[in-house]
Amino acid sequence: MEHLNKKVLVTGGAGFVGSHLVDRLIGEGYKVIVIDNLSSGRKDNLRPEYFKGKNPALRFYKIDICDPKISEIFRKEKPEFVFHFAAHIEARESVKDPIFDAQVNILGSINILENCRKFNIKKIIFSSSGGEIYGAAKKIPTSENYSPCPLSPYGAGKLAVEKYLDVYYYLFNLPYVALRYGNIYGPRQNPNGEAGVIAIFTNKMLKNEQAFLHGNGKQSKDYIFIEDVIEATFLSFKRKFTGIINIGTAKETSVLEIFKKIKALTQSKTREKHIPLPPCSFKRGCLSIKKAKREINWQPKYNLERGLKITVEWFRSKTK
């Protein structure tokens, strides 16, 4: 392939989204450098065959994005492009400990940006958050022009990094794309955290354990399947575009609907059980994708039913 000798670096590459991205990049002929501290990622998300041979497709470094020694990896590996997906992803936890969240998500990101500047990276792709940045948006579906209003330190941190990306583009001519993703779901998602209600519900129901709904369950989100996310991410990387793009489905689905669909797919007998909403919750979330269609010629291919079926089957294979 034409890109066989080109190197890309993926932060958080052993995580849910990052590991799927690694699959795509290696499939497209890129050499991939993964850095991940494995706080939530798993090295076994990365295929063993990637590490084989004298000139393996993938090199892995267990390191935190805040670590100054990351410069040594940039210097040694000489990547041309960076995908920055490492983050502390728990919005509710960010309310409890905003300092830790900022240390990882803001200062860690600046550390990555500084290395991008020092080592002349050609482009950085950043994993941002559509739902958390727009908060309780009054306009649904919400476009990129809507004034951000984060309701959690996590969302505020994502917005802050977007502003830093703008600054580095202005001062140092570092092209970037900030992808404001909807609620991503699919195989490999961690079901043991607080993020990822589809993974949590699926895991609980397959194990005949109680799954809990926050509030009345009528709050809506924009759920997008991992394969659509990876396609959008790769297209944004290949296109000559700098700026912010929403990546979602432009469709709302309530948490209660998700509960019922997964209950049917898993044939679970669990009943609805409600607990209080966390303080950073909002009632509706849905992303306009007109800009993604226009700028990177992308739109989702997986509807919710198809995506959920694939996801449940994957989790079922892991619980046998």
Q: Please check whether residue 121 lies inside any domain of the structure.
A: yes
Q: Are 241 and 177 in contact (CB under 8 A)?
A: yes
Q: How many residues does the chain have?
A: 320
Q: Please check whether residue 81 lies inside any domain of the structure.
A: no
Confidence (pLDDT) at 176 = 98
Q: Which residues pair with 59 in a beta bridge?
A: 33
Confidence (pLDDT) at 261 = 97
Confidence (pLDDT) at 1 = 38
CATH number at residue 299: 3.40.50.720
- Tens digits of residue pLDDT in 148-168: 999 899 999 999 999 999 999
188: region left, alpha or beta (phi > 0 left; psi from -120 to 50 alpha): left
Flag residues of the chain having pLDDT under 70. 1-5, 193-195, 320
Q: Which class for 4: exposed (0-12), middle (13-18), buried (19 or more C-beta within 10 A)?
A: exposed
Confidence (pLDDT) at 320 = 67
Q: Please check whether residue 156 lies inside any domain of the structure.
A: yes
Q: Please check whether residue 57 lies inside any domain of the structure.
A: no
Q: What domain count does the chain have? A: 1
CA distances from 17 to 20, 36, 88, 186 (A): 5, 12, 13, 9
Q: Please check whether residue 269 lies inside any domain of the structure.
A: yes
The DSSP symbol for 68 reads T
Q: Which residues pair with 178 in a beta bridge?
A: 126, 244
CA distances from 224 to 170, 182, 186, 302 (A): 32, 6, 9, 8
Clarify whether 134 is annotated catalytic.
no
Q: Are 74 and 119 in contact (CB under 8 A)?
A: yes
How far is 104 from 126, CA to CA, in rounded Å? 14
Helix axes 16-27, 226-238, angle to 10 degrees: 50
- Tens digits of residue pLDDT in 271-319: 999 988 877 777 889 999 999 999 999 999 999 999 999 999 999 998 7
Active-site residue, selected from the candidate residues 30, 61, 134, 154: 154
Predicted model pTM:
0.95
Q: Please check whether residue 284 lies inside any domain of the structure.
A: yes
How far is 264 from 134, CA to CA, in rounded Å? 32
- Helix residue ranges per DSSP H, 28-152: 70-77, 91-96, 98-102, 108-118, 130-134
Q: Please check whether residue 185 lies inside any domain of the structure.
A: yes
Q: Please check whether residue 61 lies inside any domain of the structure.
A: no
Tell me the residue range of the domain where 147 lies: 87-319
